[in-house]
């Protein structure tokens, strides 16, 4: 596909990297010359320097042959305007990043001709909410229109799964799940039945989303039900998250140092308890019940402050900690320091757009329905739809010669959820979830040697 | 530097060179020449090296700017070394330095030769010599990028190092398709020229040789008297036009292909290029007529058109011994040597766009001195010129001049102190550094480089590579820090 991306910030750059790897023809537009120069050197894309909302610049970016325009500058208005200009110049699909909830309404999107509006804060809040709802999970992604969940878990001390082999683990708890990847230190392992699970391993399991809560409970991951949540930082994510939490009647306490923001929050939300205070002040956090909260969500505007608070909260014995971090380079450091759940609204936004692009691509014939980067981008989980072109159709899995470091995690046949075994076959129309460390697969046939 | 990736890419280049060497091998077999063994042996060596180097795929595919630049320089040296083996092994050029000079001159599309009697050479060697022009014209890496199934590494650096001009842009967003479009245009134009030459009653073999020489703006011929041999106005005009065509920025042809004629007419570089050609032809034909060098004005105009096209495109074909022309005509041609072709073409020299920027920046300097508070910007192609590019052009010119005079100095070692020797060394360097071929005096269109010392030939070979790769990639190789892995 021919894609024009306007605004090369962190989201734009993530999109540029991923989409150019997926063999799309990309033209990037940004006001800053140095940003464009660097991106053009790093990725196989074409760059245009200028104001993305100007029709001249869009024409220079070959908008007339583009299938899709993605506007992700830091300004909502510029993004919306860019999309409208592109529509007038004949682009069928447009995506805009829109943050302001006043613009973020269905009416706006339909009337302005935007095909998709993405709101990083809203998506971030939803992601945090999903993690909070599935206790013990560090991260959850869903496949097959939400029928299958991919859940990341950490094997802490005393977990009954520790020191069992993968097949013993499944046998012992008699549960329908599959461990599809595990991270031990810096290594990523695609496990076999005989792989032994160790303390501190980070495991990735796939299971039917209906059973996920049961499975987590049975396997000893379940912690206390969610009653008290403390949110540090009162920005837009906090607002969206509180709204969701109020729906499941959890008690929410927000700590925010800006008094005007505090007032805003209590006028917009009903039951929330808002504390005007500095979230980085440890005394305040302890007084406000850091230790008794079931979960701490740290969402201030500064990555560094968030990290410091999360380390403090961890040492103070808080149960579940979710930290917002935008700089991807901090991820591995944070993991090493024992902070479990890290949320990056920018990454989530980029992933959402990439999913949209893939879905659009599907209608043109590619077979990848979904792709998630897991284990710090070291492995990928992909969802394929099986067409008649697949060479292994109706053959038992044990007869297929699969590539190394690759695993067929699940098969979905209609609404039936199958955890595959050696005699299982793959049929036309199935959806297959594959986990691999082998890099980008384009077609289901690529899983074969 | 990423040594593993560099090794892998060098291996691929060896394989590609081996594949191209098959063509002269078959030609040699067809004409039953005694060069078969030489070609077969070279191919075997390249295959062994290529396979050994490409056995293991590198894991890390990152390539830094300096890594890319030095890799391009290394590969050009490598293909020249191996490309010279057929000449050396077959014994037709018994000295290795001579063979190397001839091959470098081929790949860099210079066309400077040490062979006295070209017509006595076997056809397979002549074909290989001209094929190196064709390959070197558009570039070996551009070829690799074009045939590569997927952009594996960060290869834009390689593309940039090999494509001439101050600004290297892509035609379409994927580098692979850009390379394919460039080679597509290149092949189509070459075939068109072959056809037109065949119409002019040139034999197929000679048509191919001369089309390759024109396409790469090289200048190797299969005749001792170069194009003058045919003494045909038709052939001269066809070749003149194609020399000019191949020295125009290939982006222009892409714009024509997609029907954007407005943009083509707006191109400042193209307009300046064509004006320089017109003015030079007028000056030279006027001086030839006034000095009664040729019988009539028509003949003078014909020779000046051919020679101007040949020199400004940096091809170096000759129909006349311009070393015997009036001084003003010779000086115009010498100036054209330095100006060179358009950026993004197969030609050499400083490039028209750099010359435009240099002249404009000189004019601005004068204006600034006259009224210091006046705000002025250099405009190029209708847009204000980016200061980074402006500065890089100035730096390029500085380094270029230093290299030029250093080379003249080195080439002059062991030469006698006559005025003619000075002209020889001066124009030999100018001709090699700008990838033209013939110079004046001893290395003039009817002479050759055979008489120069081996040391001078090595210096000139390096000059040719420096000129073709636009200085920096070659210079990086001599910078010790490059080789230290951090």
Given a cut of 80, whether residue B202 has pLDDT beyond it is yes
Task: Provide the pLDDT confidence category of residue A249 given band limits of 50, 70 and 90.
Answer: confident
Chain B residues inside the 8 Å CB shell of A64: none
Q: Can you give the pLDDT at residue A29? A: 94
Q: How many CB pairs under 8 A join A and B?
A: 29
The yes-or-no verdict on residue A17 having pLDDT over 60 is yes
Domain chopping of chain A, boundaries? 2-118, 124-218, 228-343, 357-447
pLDDT at A188: 81
Nearest to B173 among A33, A42, A46 (CB): A46
B329 pLDDT more than 90: yes
Contacts of B172 in chain A (CB under 8 A): 25, 46
Model confidence at B50, pLDDT cuts 50, 70, 90, reads very high
Helix (H, G, I), strand (E, B) or coil at B301: helix
pLDDT attached to residue A437: 79
Within 8 A by CB and 6+ apart from A312, the residues are A282, A285
Residues on chain A touching B179 (C-beta within 8 angstroms) = none
Q: Is B320 left (phi over 0), alpha (psi -120 to 50) or beta?
A: beta
Instruction: Indicate if A124-218 has the same CATH topology as A2-118.
Output: no
pLDDT tens for residues B254-298? 989 988 888 889 899 999 999 999 999 999 999 999 998 888 889
User: Tell me, what's the pLDDT at A362?
Assistant: 66
Instruction: Tell me the shortest Cα–Cα distance from A24 to chain B, in angstroms.
Output: 8
CB distance from A438 to chain B under 8 Å?
no
- What mean pLDDT is reported for chain B? 90
Question: In the predicted model, is pLDDT for residue A149 greater than 90?
Answer: no
When CB atoms are compared, the residue of A25, A40, A42 closest to B174 is: A25
**Segment B77-93, tens digit of pLDDT:** 999 999 999 999 999 99
Alpha helices in A30-148 (DSSP H): 33-42, 55-60, 76-88, 106-112, 120-133
pLDDT at B104: 95
Task: Inform me whether the pLDDT recorded for B213 exceeds 90.
Answer: yes
Predicted confidence (pLDDT) per residue in B400-430, tens digit: 999 999 999 999 988 888 888 999 999 999 9
Measured CA to CA, the distance from residue B290 to residue B297 in angstroms comes to: 9
Q: Indicate the pairing of strand A25-30 with strand A2-6.
A: parallel
What pLDDT does residue B186 have? 95
Q: Rounded mean pLDDT of chain A? A: 82
Q: Does B167 touch chain A (CB under 8 A)?
A: no
Superfamily the domain A228-343 falls into: NAD(P)-binding Rossmann-like Domain (3.40.50.720)
Which among A42, A44, A48 is the top mutation candidate for probing chain B, defined by the most B β-carbons within 10 Å of its own β-carbon? A44
Residue B158: predicted pLDDT: 78
Q: How far is B190 from chain A (nearest CA, A)?
A: 28
A34 Cβ under 8 Å from any chain B Cβ: no
Considering only the beta carbons, identify the residue of A2, A33, A41 that sits closest to B156: A41
The model's confidence at residue A184, banded by pLDDT at 50, 70 and 90, is confident
Q: How many helices (H) and strands (E) does chain B have?
A: 21, 2
**Could you read off the pLDDT of B167-198 as tens digits, one per residue?**
767 778 888 888 899 999 999 999 999 999 99
What pLDDT score does A223 carry?
58
Q: Is the pLDDT of residue B143 over 90?
A: no
Mean of pLDDT values over A15-20: 87
Higher pLDDT, B114 or A270: B114
Q: May I ask the CATH architecture of the domain A357-447?
A: 2-Layer Sandwich (3.30)
Between A68 and A402, name the one with better pLDDT: A68
Residue with tokens 């003003």: B328
Q: Tell me which residue in A41, A42, A46 faces B172 most closely, judged by beta carbons.
A: A46
B294 or A365: which carries more pLDDT confidence?
A: B294
**Residue-level pLDDT at A220:** 65
Average pLDDT over residues B14-40: 94
Give residue A338's pLDDT: 64
Rounded to whole angstroms, the Cα distance separating B431 from A214 reads 81
- Which homologous superfamily is A124-218 in? Regulator of K+ conductance, C-terminal domain (3.30.70.1450)
CATH architecture for segment(s) A2-118: 3-Layer(aba) Sandwich (3.40)
Per the CB < 8 Å rule, is A44 touching B172? no
Dist CA B192 CA B215 (whole Å) = 11
Chain A residues in contact with B386 by the CB 8 A cut-off are 33
Give me the mean pLDDT over the B386-411 stretch: 93
- The whole-number pLDDT of residue B78 equals 95
Cβ–Cβ gap B386/A26 under 8 Å: no
Q: Chain A: give the shortest CA distance to residue B385, in Å.
A: 13
pTM of the model: 0.80
Residue A106 has pLDDT above 70, yes or no: no
Chain A neighbours among B 176-215 (CB < 8 Å)?
176-177
Q: Is A25 on the interface with B (CB under 8 A)?
A: yes
CA atoms of A52 and A33, how far apart (whole Å)? 13
Average pLDDT over residues B244-259: 91
Region A381-395 average pLDDT: 80
Q: Show residues of chain B in contact with A45, CB under 8 Å.
A: 173
**Residue given tokens 């000893």 in the structure block:** A220
Out of A1-10, A435-444, B281-290, pick the least confident. Answer: A435-444
Which range has highest mean pLDDT (A79-88, A411-420, B157-166)?
A: A79-88
To the nearest whole Å, the CA of A367 is away from the closest chain B CA by: 19
Q: With 80 as the cut, is the pLDDT of residue A340 above it?
A: no
Q: How many residues does chain B have?
A: 486
Beta strand A379-385 with A431-436: parallel, antiparallel or unpaired? antiparallel
Q: Tell whether B386 is within 8 A of chain A (Cβ).
A: yes
Chain B positions in Cβ-Cβ contact with residue A23 (cut-off 8 Å)? 150
């Amino acid at each position: 596909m021919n894609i024009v991306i306007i605004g090369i910030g962190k989201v734009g750059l993530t999109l540029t990297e991923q989409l150019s790897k997926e063999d799309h023809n990309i033209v990037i537009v940004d006001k800053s010359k140095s940003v464009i120069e660097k991106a053009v050197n790093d990725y196989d894309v074409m760059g245009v320097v200028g104001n993305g909302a100007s029709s001249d610049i869009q024409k220079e970016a070959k908008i007339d042959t583009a299938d899709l325009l993605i506007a992700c500058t830091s300004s909502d208005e510029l993004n919306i305007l860019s999309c409208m200009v592109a529509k007038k110049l004949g682009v069928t699909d447009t995506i805009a990043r829109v943050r302001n909830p006043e613009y973020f309404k269905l009416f706006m999107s339909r009337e302005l001709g935007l095909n998709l509006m993405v709101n990083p804060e809203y998506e971030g809040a939803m992601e945090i909410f999903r993690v909070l709802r599935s206790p013990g999970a560090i991260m959850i992604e869903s496949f097959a229109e939400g029928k299958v969940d991919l859940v990341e878990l950490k094997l802490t001390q005393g977990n009954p799964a520790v020191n069992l082999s993968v097949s013993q683990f499944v046998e012992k708890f008699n549960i329908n799940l599959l461990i599809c990847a595990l991270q031990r230190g810096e290594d990523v392992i695609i496990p076999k039945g005989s792989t032994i699970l160790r303390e501190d391993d980070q495991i990735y399991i796939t299971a039917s989303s209906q059973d996920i809560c049961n499975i987590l409970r049975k396997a000893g991951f379940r912690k206390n039900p969610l009653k008290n949540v403390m949110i540090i930082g009162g920005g837009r994510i906090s607002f969206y998250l509180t709204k969701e939490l109020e729906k499941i009647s959890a008690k929410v306490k927000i700590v925010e140092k800006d008094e005007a923001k505090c007032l805003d929050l209590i006028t917009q939300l009903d039951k929330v308890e808002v504390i005007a205070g500095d979230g980085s002040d440890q005394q305040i956090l302890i007084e406000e019940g850091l230790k008794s909260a079931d979960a701490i969500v740290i969402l201030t505007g500064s990555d560094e402050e968030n990290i410091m608070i999360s380390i403090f909260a961890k040492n103070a014995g808080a149960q579940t900690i979710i930290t917002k971090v935008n700089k991807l380079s901090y991820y591995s450091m944070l993991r090493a320091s024992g902070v479990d759940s890290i949320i990056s609204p920018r990454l989530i936004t980029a992933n959402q757009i990439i999913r949209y692009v893939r879905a659009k691509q599907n209608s043109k014939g590619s077979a990848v329905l979904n792709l998630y980067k897991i284990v710090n981008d070291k492995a990928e989980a992909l969802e394929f739809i099986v067409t008649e072109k697949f060479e292994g159709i109706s053959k038992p899995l044990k007869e297929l010669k699969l590539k190394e470091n690759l695993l067929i995690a699940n098969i979905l046949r209609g609404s039936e959820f199958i955890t595959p075994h050696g005699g299982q076959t793959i049929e036309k129309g199935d959806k297959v979830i594959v986990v691999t460390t082998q890099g980008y697969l384009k077609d289901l046939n690529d899983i074969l040697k | 530097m990423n040594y593993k990736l560099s090794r892998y890419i060098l291996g691929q280049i060896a394989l590609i060179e081996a594949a191209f060497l098959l063509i002269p091998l078959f030609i040699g077999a067809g004409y039953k020449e005694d060069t078969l063994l030489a070609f077969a042996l070279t191919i075997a060596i390249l295959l062994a090296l290529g396979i050994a180097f490409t056995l293991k795929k590198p894991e890390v595919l990152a390539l830094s700017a300096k890594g890319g630049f030095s890799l391009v320089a290394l590969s050009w040296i490598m293909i020249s070394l191996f490309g010279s083996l057929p000449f050396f092994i077959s014994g037709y050029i018994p000295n290795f330095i001579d063979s190397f000079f001839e091959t470098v001159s081929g790949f860099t599309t210079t066309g400077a030769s040490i062979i006295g009697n070209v017509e006595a050479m076997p056809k397979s060697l002549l074909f290989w010599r001209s094929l190196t022009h064709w390959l070197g014209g558009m570039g070996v890496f551009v070829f690799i990028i074009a045939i590569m199934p997927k952009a594996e590494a960060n290869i834009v650096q390689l593309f940039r190092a090999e494509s001439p001009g101050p600004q290297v842009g892509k035609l379409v967003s994927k580098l692979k398709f850009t390379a394919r479009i460039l080679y597509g245009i290149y092949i189509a134009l070459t075939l068109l020229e072959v056809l037109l030459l065949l119409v002019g009653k040139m034999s197929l073999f000679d048509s191919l040789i001369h089309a390759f020489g024109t396409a790469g703006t090289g200048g190797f011929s299969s005749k001792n008297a170069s194009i003058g041999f045919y003494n045909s106005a038709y052939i001269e005009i066809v070749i003149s036009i194609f020399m000019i065509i191949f020295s125009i920025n290939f982006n222009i042809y892409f714009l024509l292909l997609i029907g954007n004629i407005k943009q083509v007419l707006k191109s400042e570089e193209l307009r300046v290029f064509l004006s320089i050609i017109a003015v030079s032809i007028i000056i030279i034909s006027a001086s030839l007529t006034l000095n009664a060098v040729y019988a009539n004005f028509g003949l003078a105009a014909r020779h000046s058109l051919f020679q101007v096209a040949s020199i400004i495109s940096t091809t170096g074909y000759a129909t006349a011994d311009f070393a015997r022309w009036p001084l003003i005509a010779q000086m115009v041609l010498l100036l054209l040597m330095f100006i060179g072709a358009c950026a993004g073409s197969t030609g050499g020299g400083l490039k028209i766009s750099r010359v435009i920027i240099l002249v404009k920046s000189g004019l601005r300097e004068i204006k600034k001195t006259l009224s210091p508070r006046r705000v002025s910007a250099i405009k190029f192609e209708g847009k204000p010129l980016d200061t980074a590019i402006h500065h890089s052009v100035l730096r390029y010119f500085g380094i270029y001049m230093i290299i030029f005079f250093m080379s003249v100095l080195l080439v002059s070692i062991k030469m006698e102190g006559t005025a003619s020797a000075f002209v020889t060394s001066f124009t030999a360097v100018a001709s090699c550094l700008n990838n033209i071929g013939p110079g004046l005096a001893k290395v003039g269109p009817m002479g050759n480089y055979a008489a120069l010392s081996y040391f001078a030939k090595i210096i000139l070979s390096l000059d040719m590579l420096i000129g073709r790769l636009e200085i920096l990639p070659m210079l990086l190789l001599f910078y010790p820090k490059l080789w230290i892995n951090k």
